[in-house]
Every structure is written in structure tokens, then in C-alpha cells.
Amino acid sequence: MENLHASEALRVVLESVSILGVETVDLKRSLGRVLAESISSNRDLPPYDVSMMDGFAVRSGDVVSAPTQLVIIEDIKAGDMPTKIVRTGQCARIMTGAPIPQGADAVIPVEETHGLSAEIVQIDKTAKSGNYIRPQGDSMKNGEVVLQAGTEITPGVIGVLATVKVAVLSVYRRPRVAILSTGNELEGMSDPVDPNKIPNSNSYALMAQVQALGIEPVLLGIARDDPIELEEFLRRGLEYDVLLVSGGTSVGVHDYVRPTTARLGVQMKFWRVAIRPGHPLAFGITNTSSVFGLPGNPVSSMVCFEEFVLPALRRMMGNQRLYRRTVTARLTHPVRFNPGRTEFIRIYLTRDAAGYIATSTGSQSSGALLSMAKADGLLVVPSDSTGLAEGEQVTVQLLDGAAFQDAIEFRE
């Protein structure tokens, strides 16, 4: 199979996966899910014209000049209904959120008034019709679609759902994901430390990448580089919506993942993508499952997850935004010329007045997991780049932790 460009490989992956089914969840457990139904408002909000301030509901015709004295006919609190009509020369004391009484068409904030007695208030400023009145249905109108299917459920969306009293809702199902590591050299978490072995980090790093998307994956463990044992593990893994296999996808004689998946009926869509790190990435499907053969090198495995698995999982969950946000940053050092492959460079981000600044986190070897652990993002070097100079503007895909920064300034 030929070497695909990164964008072609991504296209093949996204064409091969589709939204999974729908399930219902309790509103209290719905954060991060994706709405599978459109939601309409079941009432006007506010339900009537309300005051936006604590103050006095007046007839604007009475306050065309100031100061003016008005007779207070009643007190209206939020939750009360007015009982009187405001007539010429009259007003009602009103609280924020309380309904505007009949006859009144403006509110004067209490700060713009003086109480002269229990019944008389002096209005110190003029007001126009509609001042400080929030009209009925201003926030939402009865029957109006307030949330479209495909909306990702954030705290703000949960607030809207609670407003329209949706206690149980339809969301897209999350994919069931299994993770398998392969390699005779691998040492499991509970195995004794053996200086000749390589600790299995990939299962855990991949697990965390999956968890960060709100999915709890199943760790199948470690399969030896043995076709029979591997087949057994892969068969179990194919029972899941998505199987992530790390290692054994390369050209070594003991790299059995591709021949074994093929024997199990997996239709291979591609093998080898023109990226660095992550070149020996394989991808295949069955009727019910997608299989990613991720390279064993720890950073390659994580980068392939970011670039190809993450968008696929998000598509399956109904997300409309499939990709990590990118920012433009200024490079603090040159990046050498490496033709022919899209390259992903681990960087950390700082900021100055001119914007983001990108600096390499250290060794860019595909085994240098520490430089991945320090990274805020992946600088994307296009395959046709002839190298990047210090000071050049570059595109950086943000990683998870990059959503936060050290300090903030409100510019008060």
C-alpha cells in the first residue's frame, strides 16, 4: 500500500466512521455529551415585561422633565403580580425581575430618585418609553428552537436545558474503545522491573487520551509477538467500536498486526502515512469496528491518536467540531528542513504582547515521551516546507493542557 498524505489519511478515516446510535441521559450526567435532538423553548422568558432595575415603574409621559414628583401606589417584588394600574402622576416601586404594571412604560432606577415621604418619590431624571424594561420573550420565545441537534453540552447548554425543563435528553452514544499493546519486550505495570524490558506506557497514555474525550476505554493488556496469541487478543478487540493496537505495524518479520487483522476479516484502508512521527500507521474496518494500528514508539502512538483517532472518535459521538483548536505562534528557533512528510513538533507556548511564542520542548525523537509530556501543542510543519526560520509564524495544534495559562489580566 502506498504512502498517504496526512490529509488523505484523515479523509479516509473520517469517511469510514459515522455517528453511533442515540441514548438518553439524565441532565445531571450530560456534560460533554452531544445533543441528538433539537430542543425548543416551552415558554416565553421572561414571561412578561419585567424591570431590569430596582426603582420605580412610571409613565414616560410623566417624566419628560425632571425633577418630578409621583405618588407611589404599590410595591411590586419579583414573583408578585401588580394589582393596580399606574395612572398619570402615579408610579409603583418595583424590584429587578418584577412585572411592569399596566399603565407604566419605563423604569427609573432608584439611584435617580429621592424618597420625599412614604407615598411620594421625586424623580431626578427624565426617561423614555421602554427604559430599563426587558420585554416578554426577550431571552427565549415559546416554541423557538434554542439548541440544535449536534450541540456539544457545555455548562451554558446545561443552563439552557434546565431553563426549558429538560431533565432527560437524547445524546449520541459514546464509542466503546479497546486498547491493546503488542511486543515481546513489553513489561506490564504489575510485572517486576526487568532491565531488559520496556515498560508498557502506550496503553496508559492512549487510555488517558481516550478518557480526555469522556470515554472510558478497556485495556486488553499486552499481546506477545506471536500470531496465535495476537489473533486471540485482536478477536476480542474487534468486539468494540474502536480498537487501538499499539506496536507491530511496521515491516519487521515479527510485526504481525497487519497480517493478523487481515486474517480476521479487517479491510485495511491504508498503511503508512507521510508524517513524522507516526509513519507506520495502519487503519482498517470491519462492519462494526474501526481498527487503528498505531506505531509502537510512544510519541508516534500519541501523535497518531491526536491526528487521526481523536477526530474519528469525535465524529462517532456526534461532535461537529472534530479538531483541536490551532493558534498562530512565533517560533523562537529554526526548524530544520525535512522534506516529504508532515511533521509534528512538540512545543510549549508562552505569550508576549504580539501573541503566542512557540519553543521546542526538547528532543523530537519518537521515543522521547518526556518532551511530549511537556508539550502544550504540536507545531505542524507542512510536507512541502523547506524549513522554518526563527521568528517565523507557525500553526500550533493545542493539546489538552493548553486550555489553561499561568496568569490573566482583566485590563480594568
Q: Does 248 bind Mg ion (CB under 5 A)?
A: yes
Site map (CB under 6 A) of ligand AMP, residues 289-328, x = contact? ------xxxx------------------------------
Which of 80, 111, 110 is closest to 97 using CA atoms? 80
Helix (H, G, I), strand (E, B) or coil at 342: strand
Cα–Cα distance measured from residue 49 to residue 260, given in angstroms and rounded to the nearest whole number: 69
Q: Does 201 bind ligand AMP (CB under 6 A)?
A: yes
Is-contact 222 183, C-beta < 8 A?
Answer: yes
| Stretch 284-313 residues interacting with Mg ion (CB under 5 A) | 296
Residue from the set 183, 278, 311, 377 that interacts with ligand AMP by CB under 6 A: 183
Residue type, 216: E
Stretch of 27-35, 64-72, 180-188, 268-276 lying at the interface with ligand AMP (CB under 6 A): 180-188
Joined together, the cell numbers standing for residue 310 give: 481523536
Nearest distance from C-beta of residue 368 to ligand AMP, angstroms: 12
Residue type, 253: V
Joined together, the cell numbers standing for residue 108 give: 427609573
Residue from the set 19, 31, 158, 198 that interacts with ligand AMP by CB under 6 A: 198
Cα–Cα distance measured from residue 188 to residue 181, given in angstroms and rounded to the nearest whole number: 10
Q: What are phi and psi of 176, to 5 degrees?
A: -90, 125
Q: Does 184 bind ligand AMP (CB under 6 A)?
A: no
Is-contact 163 24, C-beta < 8 A?
Answer: no
Residue 185 contact among ligand AMP, Mg ion, none, beta carbon within 5 to 8 Å by kind: ligand AMP
Q: Kindly state the number of chain residues that form the binding site for ligand AMP, as judged by CB under 6 A.
A: 19
Site map (CB under 6 A) of ligand AMP, residues 136-175, x = contact? ----------------------------------------
Comparison of 149 and 198: residue with beta carbon closer to ligand AMP: 198
Nearest distance from C-beta of residue 296 to Mg ion, angstroms: 5
C-alpha triplet 215, 309, 205: angle, nearest 5°: 65
Exposed/middle/buried for residue 278 (C-beta within 10 Å: 0-12, 13-18, 19+): buried
DSSP-derived letter for residue 322 is -
Is-contact 225 256, C-beta < 8 A?
Answer: yes
Helix (H, G, I), strand (E, B) or coil at 117: coil
Residue 297 contact among ligand AMP, Mg ion, none, beta carbon within 5 to 8 Å by kind: ligand AMP
Cα–Cα distance measured from residue 284 to residue 270, given in angstroms and rounded to the nearest whole number: 7
Nearest distance from C-beta of residue 185 to Mg ion, angstroms: 7
| Stretch 202-261 residues interacting with ligand AMP (CB under 6 A) | 202-203, 246-250, 252
Nearest distance from C-beta of residue 372 to ligand AMP, angstroms: 12
Stretch of 83-91, 194-202, 211-219, 388-396 lying at the interface with ligand AMP (CB under 6 A): 194-202
Which single residue brings its beta carbon nearest to ligand AMP? 296
C-alpha triplet 129, 133, 136: angle, nearest 5°: 115
Joined together, the cell numbers standing for residue 238 give: 474487534
Residue from the set 55, 247, 295, 377 that interacts with Mg ion by CB under 5 A: 247
The residue ranges that bind ligand AMP (CB under 6 A) are 181, 183, 185-186, 198, 200-203, 246-250, 252, 295-298
The residue ranges that bind Mg ion (CB under 5 A) are 183, 247-248, 296
